[in-house]
Structure 1
Amino acid sequence: WIAPKTGTDCALALGFANVIIAEGLYDRDFVGQWCHGFDEFAAHVARYTPEYVAEFCGVSADDVRTAARWFGRAQAAALVSGRGIDQSGRNVAPTHRAICCLRAITGNVDKPGACIITEMSDFTTEVELEMTDEMAPEHKARCLNTPFTPLQCYEGYAKVQKVTERLGCRLPTRYMTSAHPDLVLRAMETGEPYPVRALIVNATNPLLTYADTHRVFNALMGLDLIVVIDYYLTPTASIADFVLPCAGAIERPLFQQHGGVANIAYGGPAAVEPYYERRSDYDIFRALGLRLGQTEAWPHETFKDALEDVLTRAGMTWEEYCERGMYFRPPVPFKYLYPDETGNPRGFATTTGKIELASEILPDFGGQRLPEPVPCLSLCSDELIARAAACGGAHLSMVTGARKQPYNASMYFNNPKFRKSSPHPAVEISPATAQRLGLRAGDTVEVATDKGSARFVLEVRTMRDDMVSVDYGWWHPEWTPGAPDFGGMWESNVNCLTSCSVATGEPMIGTWWYNAIDCVIRKVDETLSWQDDPCAKDSASAGKDGAR
């Protein structure tokens, strides 16, 4: 467990590459045939020695060497990444690039036991169902992102599509064109470049799960219309003009297809018909589409009928899919060796047909030719840090939103058993950090940035020193919905501290910072509503309070 400082994963990966190249552990044959820019990359990582990385990342140089050698000497190895590095702002793209370069120089690409390149689905893909090709050019031209995130827009998608289609693949458009929250909020606030006056909220609770809660609240409160599709009167639903009750997970069929970029889907039939007047998302949007004249786009009366049609191309019936619980065809390895129309190996989805350790296309979008870490985001002014220090507080690095059972984002807080087993929103620090700051498990602490503050209960965990991990998504479903408390949204909501500014985000796609943010933390004497919460102490009482 290397446990680098938050936001330094890119440097750690480049340190691995330094060791692997310096000690000759790279796959010479694969690099020679299928990697572009190796000499340039090798020169780039030369300064990321284990000693340099140890100081930069706050880790042991020996650990860097040991882990790099394990990876470099393996017959086959996989590097798996997740939400941590996906939400570190400007470091997201270079970190993923560095990890991809590590896979490439060791030959751990598209071979058994390593990182397999997925194939397009046999069934109808998500990008086809989106019908983005039906959008008029003048509508695509009004994409809010275009001047700010050159890859996260329709023009950027079109350029990348030409490359990915070399391998017969198409990425779902929505992932690479969805509007940046900062720009949507700006359009709500200012009407620029055009006014956004209405919002449909589906499968999210933005007042808790979106960055900069104060700003999100003010922007949403200024809209002319909000429609929320949800199970409960969440804080967001409590400010809506209309709330449409959504069918629950077991009241609708499931077909999870991972964006249509892999040949796998899992799920099955609905267990029961929707109770009361609940409707599936499909029913709601189909009805809206039909009212708008989109008759040809919604030929299937039910969600089940639509999914059955999606499977037709794959040669599987809906009944077979429900019996198995999935559709799966294992990807074939070494696809880059398949002959193209000229009889030559088709290679990879890049401009050169090789894995580009030095990218030939990303600089066109404001990205780096070679992966290099950038400084982490600072949201704490000198004045805030000084005030915290004067109160016995400390200035630390923060990660937010670690997925923790039994909750999921802002879901399941109404479950009495869950609340009894996990009763309060927590800030986690290491034993050494707790001792240094004079804090103990169970203390009430305030965490703050210049954006705002929130209060939590302290827990001590085995984790890296001098950092904090802060829960998110906490609210009281049993409280009376709406103003003034909005389910306790302002008390322990870490997104009161975060920012989605496109100006400080990743330059190609605008990824903002939920991790590797600085904060101040201090002990406070106040008791939180969670610490005097009947739902956390007595499940029977919780059921009664929830009913009330």
Structure 2
Amino acid sequence: MTTRETRQTFCGLCHPRCGLLLHFENGKAVRVEGDPDHPISRGSICARGKLMVDHLYHPQRLNYPLKRVGERGSGQWQRVSWDQALDEVAEQLDRLRTQFGPETLMFTHGTHRTYHWPGRRFFNLFGSPNMCGANNICMCPTLAVEYATYGGFAGSDVRNSQCVVVWGRGASQSDPILGYQALLAAKHNGAKIIVVDPRRIAEVKQADQWLQIRPGTDVALMLGWIRVIIEEKLFDRDFVKQWTVGFDQLRRAVAAYPPDLVAKITWLTPQQVTDSARLYATTRPAAFPWGFGIDKQGINATQAARARSILRAITGNLDVAGGERLGWPEPLGRIIGDDLLEMNGALSAKQRAKQLGAAQYPFFGFPGWERNVKANSRLPYQYMHPPQADMTSMAHIRAVFGAVLTGKPYPVTAAISLANNPILALPNSRRVYQALKSLQLYVVSDYYLTPSAALADYVFPAASTVERSELWLVPGFCVACPQGLEPLYERRDDYQFWRGLAVRLGQQDHWPWETVEQVFDHRLAPVGLTFQTLIKSRGLFGRAEPKRYRQFGFGTPSGKVELRSRIFKALGCEPLPVYREAYPDLVADPEMAVQYPLVLITGSRFMPMYHTEQRQIPPARQSVPDPLVTLHPATAAKLGLGEGDWARITTPQGSIRQRVHLSDSIHPRMVDSQHGWWFPEREESDPTLFGVFESNANVLCPDSAATCSPEIGSWPHTALICRVEPE
């Protein structure tokens, strides 16, 4: 007799936590569909969510802790218990801490597959300031910049907007259920749409204006917009006068960016520059959402985030319906935030000073974070939480891996990676590989044995999102994400991983909760809820009031929007946005333009893959069987390449191979290379490592100081020079 059951749960195969219904037969999940009663996703799921059952039962999933027994990377493992693995890891960490100091331990984390705050809590109590990962190129830089500019991260109210600027943001591929549907709703309601992207993405079909910008020149266009808006007096005069500082300095700074010059820099026309600036400034309320394409452009990333923040402010779109919402609405601000769970006060000033890379990139280290926290303290917590250290105070990977390889300024000998695949997630992939190989202790928790995990000493099996619970808390709502089933085999959530290590290393007094749901109850207590009661109510929603800055001011040193940033100035960074040429080699050495005639972007999202994930899942791989590099047909013809041919892409940093895809959606002078590619069907052992260097776009990406943003060290995944040749 067949028994059937349906359970509410959630997806987590990309950033949103869309509601799922997981259908069971005889105790086994057999099918998944969207939950029509979910208050946010309302029954919709994307192609990634449909892979959940394949992911849950995939034969290559990690199900038990593994211990390396052969040479590092040899593919020789021994199954061990969780207790044995945690005991041995804790023993080795304690020994290395005694020998080298707690700063000898580093961490790399991924993108929202874990709870995040437990890792920071563990590291603060352990005594190491060296947490790093992909934060420097994904939302976190923007978060830190917005705190310095107006005291908090702004969430774009796209659905209620009359003008939406889609800049470096392809939600149709990265966030199709929430972000893209919000854009379509705005368009349906009559909003004007401006798309700034070097590719003709799906959003262009909705656009009133499409600006096919030269990659890496976004700051120049933003400065051109600001100049037009100021010269033509299209800014919000009352807001600028009452609530900003530095306007006159800004006016003088942008005077150097007339439309003719901006057009020359960006591959646009002067008319496009002026028309788009006017449309944005005169159509209110306007929303200018965050986009990954801004944060990953290297040398200009930080200043692009600054310029976008300034545009939002001077046009009067801060904290208005249909514009950029600020702060936590009642009662959501009373829920205990991740920042309070991090226990940042446990890390001493002496240990903070040892954070690798902070001297060169102070704004994204403890010096910048401390200034943002101090400025934020003028605001009530329930209105604006301070910035999370986990997202705005990071060691820099180049300095950290340098310490691994050289022992300077001190030895870094141990690393932990959770939901992160550093060889594919970080730039200069071969150097990352050498650093991982050089560690005395490398510990990984993940779903699958990835190329990076293949170099580990211990590998822990991570629970899928449907095998654990989560509290989905953002400034608009708080939704309980229930566990769909008990973890299969010996998989565990990352709270259990961190707590298991913590109690073995003397931190037990600071981890009073045995399960993560007990933590959620603690967080929800100020609003009189438990995790289980929140599940039953289907969510808690905020009651937003516009323009609360009139009551509280802004969480900056001046209490106003800082068009000229005092925090940047104090840290030796440019206080006003500046444009830097993204291709300095072409200026210093014109011969480089002959050797590398094309402009490369990487990191474009594509369904159903997400970063380095889903490569081993058959339906996903059938959809995209090979890594693709997109060329304009005219460009490919000149190179002797056709659809499906294997081509070699080369930058000054390295070389990879991918299959050619022809499309007139990109500029003839451009190349678009898919990222995150490895081959789970290949041999595990080193040097093959699942073919990790063959088609991995991060092999092409540098991490030198000359190519990273000087404020936070963002490395470039776009605006690279390259050549493409037949393989």
In the superposition, the TM-score normalised over structure 2's length comes to 0.67
Distance 1:244 1:337, change over 3 A: same
Q: Is the 8 A contact 2:358 2:396 kept in 1?
A: no
**Identity of paired residues, percent?**
36
Distance 1:406 1:116, change over 3 A: same
Q: Is the 8 A contact 1:379 1:449 kept in 2?
A: no
Residue in 2 that maps onto 1:371: 577
How many residue pairs end up in the alignment?
Answer: 509
Partner of 2:713: helix, strand, or coil? coil
- Once the 2 structures are TM-superposed, how far is the Cα of residue 411 of structure 1 from its aligned partner? 0.6
Residue in 1 that maps onto 2:696: 493
- Once the 2 structures are TM-superposed, how far is the Cα of residue 270 of structure 1 from its aligned partner? 0.8
Q: Which moved more, 1:329-338 or 1:228-237?
A: 329-338
1:465 aligns with 2:465: no
Partner of 1:361: helix, strand, or coil? helix
Partner of 2:211: helix, strand, or coil? coil
Q: 2-side partners of 1:159 and 1:204: how far apart?
A: 29
Q: 1:274 aligns with which of 481, 487, 508?
A: 487
Q: 2:279 aligns with which of 67, 70, 87?
A: 70
Residue in 2 that maps onto 1:407: 609
Q: 1:203 aligns with which of 405, 419, 424?
A: 419
> 1:436-495, CA deviations, whole angstroms, 9 ceiling, x for partnerless residues?
444322221111123211000111231233111111111111233222311111210111
Residue in 2 that maps onto 1:243: 459
Partner of 1:109: helix, strand, or coil? coil
- Once the 2 structures are TM-superposed, how far is the Cα of residue 325 of structure 1 from its aligned partner? 4.6
- Once the 2 structures are TM-superposed, how far is the Cα of residue 432 of structure 1 from its aligned partner? 3.9
Distance 1:302 1:110, change over 3 A: same
Q: 1-side partners of 2:635 and 2:540: how far apart?
A: 48
Q: Which moved more, 1:207-216 or 1:498-507?
A: 498-507
Residue in 2 that maps onto 1:532: none
Q: 2-side partners of 1:272 and 1:97: how far apart?
A: 44
Distance 1:383 1:424, change over 3 A: farther
Consecutive unaligned residues of structure 2, counting only runs of 5 or more, are 1-209
Partner amino acid, structure 2, of 1:63: Q
1:166 aligns with 2:372: no
Partner of 1:121: helix, strand, or coil? helix
> 1:346-395, CA deviations, whole angstroms, 9 ceiling, x for partnerless residues?
32222222222222331222321221111115579969958x85xxxx52
Q: Is the 8 A contact 1:227 1:241 kept in 2?
A: yes
- Once the 2 structures are TM-superposed, how far is the Cα of residue 415 of structure 1 from its aligned partner? 0.8
Q: 2-side partners of 1:265 and 1:491: how far apart?
A: 42
- Once the 2 structures are TM-superposed, how far is the Cα of residue 40 of structure 1 from its aligned partner? 2.2
Partner amino acid, structure 2, of 1:118: G
Partner amino acid, structure 1, of 2:575: R
Distance 1:28 1:408, change over 3 A: same
Residue in 1 that maps onto 2:321: 112
Partner amino acid, structure 1, of 2:228: V
Residue in 2 that maps onto 1:142: 354
> 1:382-435, CA deviations, whole angstroms, 9 ceiling, x for partnerless residues?
69958x85xxxx521111111111111111111111111111101112334334
Q: 2-side partners of 1:96 and 1:480: how far apart?
A: 42
Partner amino acid, structure 2, of 1:15: G
Q: 1:58 aligns with which of 267, 271, 286?
A: 267
Q: 1:5 aligns with which of 196, 214, 226?
A: 214
Q: Is the 8 A contact 1:268 1:321 kept in 2?
A: no
Distance 1:63 1:331, change over 3 A: same
1:448 aligns with 2:681: no
Q: 2:534 aligns with which of 321, 324, 328?
A: 321
Q: 2-side partners of 1:355 and 1:35: how far apart?
A: 5
Residue in 2 that maps onto 1:353: 559
Q: Is the 8 A contact 1:14 1:48 kept in 2?
A: yes
Distance 1:503 1:133, change over 3 A: farther
Distance 1:100 1:452, change over 3 A: same
Q: 2-side partners of 1:278 and 1:140: how far apart?
A: 34
Partner amino acid, structure 2, of 1:247: A
Residue in 1 that maps onto 2:126: none
Residue in 2 that maps onto 1:130: 342
> 1:285-307, CA deviations, whole angstroms, 9 ceiling, x for partnerless residues?
11111111111211111122222
Q: Which moved more, 1:190-199 or 1:20-29?
A: 20-29
- Once the 2 structures are TM-superposed, how far is the Cα of residue 82 of structure 1 from its aligned partner? 0.9
Q: 2:410 aligns with which of 194, 204, 218?
A: 194
Partner of 2:274: helix, strand, or coil? helix
Q: 2-side partners of 1:267 and 1:464: how far apart?
A: 44
Distance 1:382 1:368, change over 3 A: closer
Partner amino acid, structure 2, of 1:160: N
> 1:103-162, CA deviations, whole angstroms, 9 ceiling, x for partnerless residues?
122111111111111227321111111111012232222211332112222233222211
Partner of 2:377: helix, strand, or coil? helix
Q: Is the 8 A contact 2:480 2:531 kept in 1?
A: no
Q: 1:337 aligns with which of 525, 550, 554?
A: 550
- Once the 2 structures are TM-superposed, how far is the Cα of residue 267 of structure 1 from its aligned partner? 4.5
Q: 1-side partners of 2:491 and 2:544: how far apart?
A: 39
Q: Is the 8 A contact 1:121 1:263 kept in 2?
A: no
Residue in 2 that maps onto 1:17: 226
Residue in 2 that maps onto 1:102: 311
1:289 aligns with 2:502: yes
CA RMSD of aligned residues (A): 2.1
1:29 aligns with 2:226: no
Partner amino acid, structure 2, of 1:40: Q
Q: Which moved more, 1:482-491 or 1:346-355?
A: 346-355
Residue in 1 that maps onto 2:521: 308
What is the 5 A alignment of 1:411-430? 411-430=613-632
Residue in 2 that maps onto 1:537: none
Residue in 2 that maps onto 1:181: 397
- Once the 2 structures are TM-superposed, how far is the Cα of residue 14 of structure 1 from its aligned partner? 1.4
Q: Which moved more, 1:367-376 or 1:119-128?
A: 119-128
Q: 1-side partners of 2:648 and 2:597: how far apart?
A: 12
Distance 1:291 1:504, change over 3 A: same
> 1:469-524, CA deviations, whole angstroms, 9 ceiling, x for partnerless residues?
11111111123322231111121011111122345422222211111121222122
Partner amino acid, structure 2, of 1:497: L
Q: Is the 8 A contact 1:384 1:450 kept in 2?
A: no
Distance 1:519 1:330, change over 3 A: farther
Partner of 1:93: helix, strand, or coil? helix
Partner of 2:657: helix, strand, or coil? strand
Partner amino acid, structure 2, of 1:191: G
Q: Which moved more, 1:130-139 or 1:429-438?
A: 429-438
Q: 1-side partners of 2:584 and 2:699: how far apart?
A: 15
In the superposition, the TM-score normalised over structure 1's length comes to 0.88
Distance 1:213 1:267, change over 3 A: farther
Residue in 2 that maps onto 1:220: 436
Partner amino acid, structure 2, of 1:29: D
Q: 2-side partners of 1:30 and 1:445: how far apart?
A: 53
Q: Is the 8 A contact 2:651 2:720 kept in 1?
A: no
Q: Which moved more, 1:128-137 or 1:314-323?
A: 314-323
Q: 2-side partners of 1:433 and 1:328: how far apart?
A: 51
Q: 1-side partners of 2:471 and 2:705: how far apart?
A: 33
Q: Is the 8 A contact 1:148 1:502 kept in 2?
A: no
Q: 1-side partners of 2:308 and 2:549: how far apart?
A: 19
Distance 1:75 1:141, change over 3 A: closer
> 1:174-215, CA deviations, whole angstroms, 9 ceiling, x for partnerless residues?
222221110110110011111111111111011111111110
Q: 1-side partners of 2:470 and 2:223: how far apart?
A: 41
Q: 1-side partners of 2:502 and 2:369: how far apart?
A: 26
Q: 1-side partners of 2:219 and 2:647: how far apart?
A: 31
Residue in 2 that maps onto 1:527: none
